[in-house]
Amino acid sequence: MYFSGALGIGSGACAKPQPVAAPPPLPPSTIIVLLPEADGSVGQVTITNASGTQVLSQGRQAGLMAARAAFYRGDLGHAIVAYHEANGGLLRMGDLAEFRSGIEPSVAVRFGELSVHTCGPWCQGPVLAQMLRLVAATGVHQEAHNSFPYVHGLTEIMKLAFADRHAYYGDPRFVEVPLERLLSEAYAAERARLVRPNEAWPGMPPAGFAQAGMAHACGPVTAAPQPQLDTSYVCVVDRHGNAFSATPSDVSSNTPVIPGTGLCPSSRGSQSWADPALPASVAPGNRPRLTPSPALALGRDGRAIPFGTPGGDVQAQAMLQVLLNRIVYGMDPQAAVEAPRFATYSFPDSFEPHSIQPGRLLLEARLPPALAEMLASVGHDVAWWPDWTWKAGAVCMIDSDARAGVHTAGADPRRSTYALGW
């Protein structure tokens, strides 16, 4: 969300817990009622028990803290933890009580006239920034759109960025992520030399400035990953020029409902690793390296382009292609999201069991067979997606021109998406 030069993008993360005053204890089975003021803002917060007896009524801030305590320290929290304890889960009341959602700075790189902001390395957000640095360093964006040099070059760029994601990304509260180096133009120039015009990396390339003993890519080789349809994306620009970009997501299709609550607590722990040599290894309080990663491109003239997509590891790949379609190849937002796409799987998948498909490159069926033949001839393991497949992501985008007062948008037909204006 962009407010007069301050940026914060969220996709379900938490910052380091901050000390707060403990709210008053609440009895079980509480009912929380938020009473609005005359102008529609939240005013008094009244909390009653199941019998209708009022147990607490106070001002907005204190009341909201009490409402939070009712969830994280009250009967709902106890029900969630009891289910975990009874079924071999690891969640405990201390985990809920200490949880805080925070506001963290974005990660940004310049590409052309725009500053492209993403979330930090606790998710895969910076991989898009690294890709853009490599695009600029290789000049692949000067090739004809979806030509052989373009598709081959962009695929190799994506492999290089994902190799660094695997080797270096993790929760910066627990690991040292060399982000300044990873996003530098000098580093991109070094890595760009690994993009060979007539030879594809057969698997995941080596990470940059690799160290002895660094964990390497591993995992079962599978025929095709099976992402879950549990992620959404939303972007908004209002009449004042405020822009919002978010990728709400959690794994609900394979997560149990806690009896009596209707809630599916997060199973995003499946995006952690059991290898202690990796920065995204599971540890108490350590956030998994999430895939949801919204973006927001900002111009000095007030231009704002929020964009993002569901799609697991395909997210950054689809977002990169759509952004280039818009700002390099001049497509309007709808054409930019509809253009045929491609994606590589030549790196460990973010979800357990972290499968890898060395050299695999998926092309949407609207791309020409001759292109596939050329890509295969230099070492890509080419396979086909059907046209308009949801597996290629579903990018939504708004391009807001502050000077003209015009917003244009694109909604991807690969999933149920909409662009609305009023």
- CATH number of the domain within which 305 lies: 3.60.20.40
pLDDT band of 27, cuts 50, 70, 90: very low
Let me know if residue 241 belongs to a domain.
Answer: yes
Q: Are residues 180 and 51 in the same domain?
A: no
What is the distance between the alpha carbons of residues 187 and 175, in angstroms, rounded to a whole number? 20
Let me know if residue 169 belongs to a domain.
Answer: yes
Q: Are residues 79 and 192 in the same domain?
A: no
Q: What stretch of H or E contains 243?
A: strand 243-246
Radius of gyration for the alpha carbons in the chain, expressed in angstroms and rounded: 23
Question: Is the model's pLDDT at 192 over the cut of 60?
Answer: yes
Q: Are residues 236 and 326 in the same domain?
A: yes
Please compute the mean of the pLDDT values over residues 410-422 and round it to a whole number.
93
Query: What pLDDT does residue 255 have?
Result: 83
Let me know if residue 7 belongs to a domain.
Answer: no
Least confident of 98-102, 235-239, 334-338: 98-102
Least confident of 69-83, 151-165, 249-263: 249-263
CB 98 within 8 A of CB 17: yes
What is the distance between the alpha carbons of residues 397 and 409, in angstroms, rounded to a whole number? 6
CB 346 within 8 A of CB 359: yes
Question: Is the model's pLDDT at 356 over the cut of 90?
Answer: yes
pLDDT band of 49, cuts 50, 70, 90: low
Q: What is the pTM of this model?
A: 0.83
Q: Are residues 147 and 279 in the same domain?
A: yes
The pLDDT tens digits for 364-387 are 999 999 999 999 999 999 999 999
Name every residue whose Cβ is closer than 8 Å to that of residue 132 and which is 6 or more positions away in sequence: 109, 111, 116, 320, 323
Q: Which two tokens stand for residue 256?
A: 């149990």
Percent share of the chain, pLDDT over 70: 81
Q: Are residues 237 and 113 in the same domain?
A: yes
CA proximity to 96, closest of 64, 75, 63, 71: 71
Let me know if residue 321 belongs to a domain.
Answer: yes
- The DSSP-derived string for 244-282 is EEE--B---TTSPPBTTTTB----GGGGSBS-TTSTTB-
Let me know if residue 2 belongs to a domain.
Answer: no
33 against 107, higher pLDDT: 107
What are residue 237's phi and psi, to 5 degrees?
A: -130, 130
CB 343 within 8 A of CB 404: no
How many folded domains does the chain comprise? 2
Biggest CA-to-CA distance, the chain: 75
Q: Are residues 301 and 333 in the same domain?
A: yes
Query: What pLDDT does residue 230 have?
Result: 75
Let me know if residue 11 belongs to a domain.
Answer: no
Question: Is the model's pLDDT at 24 over the cut of 80?
Answer: no
Q: Are residues 67 and 112 in the same domain?
A: no
What is the distance between the alpha carbons of residues 9 and 116, in angstroms, rounded to a whole number? 12
353 prior amide bond cis, ω within 30: yes
Of 72, 98, 124, the position where a domain reaches its end is 98
Query: What is the pLDDT of the chain when averaged over all its residues?
Result: 85
Let me know if residue 229 belongs to a domain.
Answer: yes
Q: Are residues 47 and 129 in the same domain?
A: no
Query: What pLDDT does residue 98 have?
Result: 85
CA proximity to 123, closest of 253, 265, 231, 242: 231
Least confident of 46-50, 80-84, 108-112: 46-50
Q: Are residues 115 and 93 in the same domain?
A: no
Q: Are residues 69 and 149 in the same domain?
A: no
Classify 412 as helix, strand or coil: coil
16 against 339, higher pLDDT: 339
Let me know if residue 150 belongs to a domain.
Answer: yes
Percent share of the chain, pLDDT over 90: 63
Q: Is 243 left (phi over 0), alpha (psi -120 to 50) or beta?
A: beta
3-state secondary structure the chain: CEECCEECCCCCCCCCCCCCCCCCCCCCCEEEEEEECCCCCEEEEEEEECCCCEEEEECHHHHHHHHHHHHHCCHHHHHHHHHHHHCCCCCCHHHHHHCCCCCCCCEEEEECCEEEEECCCCECCHHHHHHHHHHHHHCHHHCCCCCHHHHHHHHHHHHHHHHHHHHHCCCCCCCCCCHHHHCCHHHHHHHHCCCECCECCCCCCCCCCCCCCCCCCCCCCCCCCCCCCCECCEEEECCCCCEEEECCECCCCCCCCECCCCECCCCHHHHCECCCCCCCECCCCCCCCECCCCEEEEECCCCEEEEECCCHHHHHHHHHHHHHHHHCCCCCHHHHHHCCCEEECCCCCCCCCCCCCCCEEEEECCCCHHHHHHHHHCCCEEEEECCCCHHHCCCEEEEEECCCCEEEEEECCCCCCCCCCC
CA proximity to 286, closest of 17, 69, 9: 17
Q: Are residues 260 and 191 in the same domain?
A: yes
Query: What pLDDT does residue 375 have?
Result: 98
Of 98, 124, 159, the position where a domain reaches its end is 98
Domain hosting 57: range is 19-98
Query: What pLDDT does residue 113 have?
Result: 95
99 against 191, higher pLDDT: 191
3-state helix, strand, coil in the chain (%, to 5): 30, 20, 50
What is the distance between the alpha carbons of residues 38 and 313, in angstroms, rounded to a whole number? 46
Classify 99 as helix, strand or coil: coil
Q: Are residues 209 and 79 in the same domain?
A: no
The pLDDT tens digits for 268-299 are 888 899 899 999 999 888 899 999 999 999 99
The pLDDT tens digits for 126-174 are 999 999 999 999 999 999 999 999 999 999 999 999 999 999 999 999 9
- Residue with token string 């990796």: 278
Of 39, 69, 98, the position where a domain reaches its end is 98
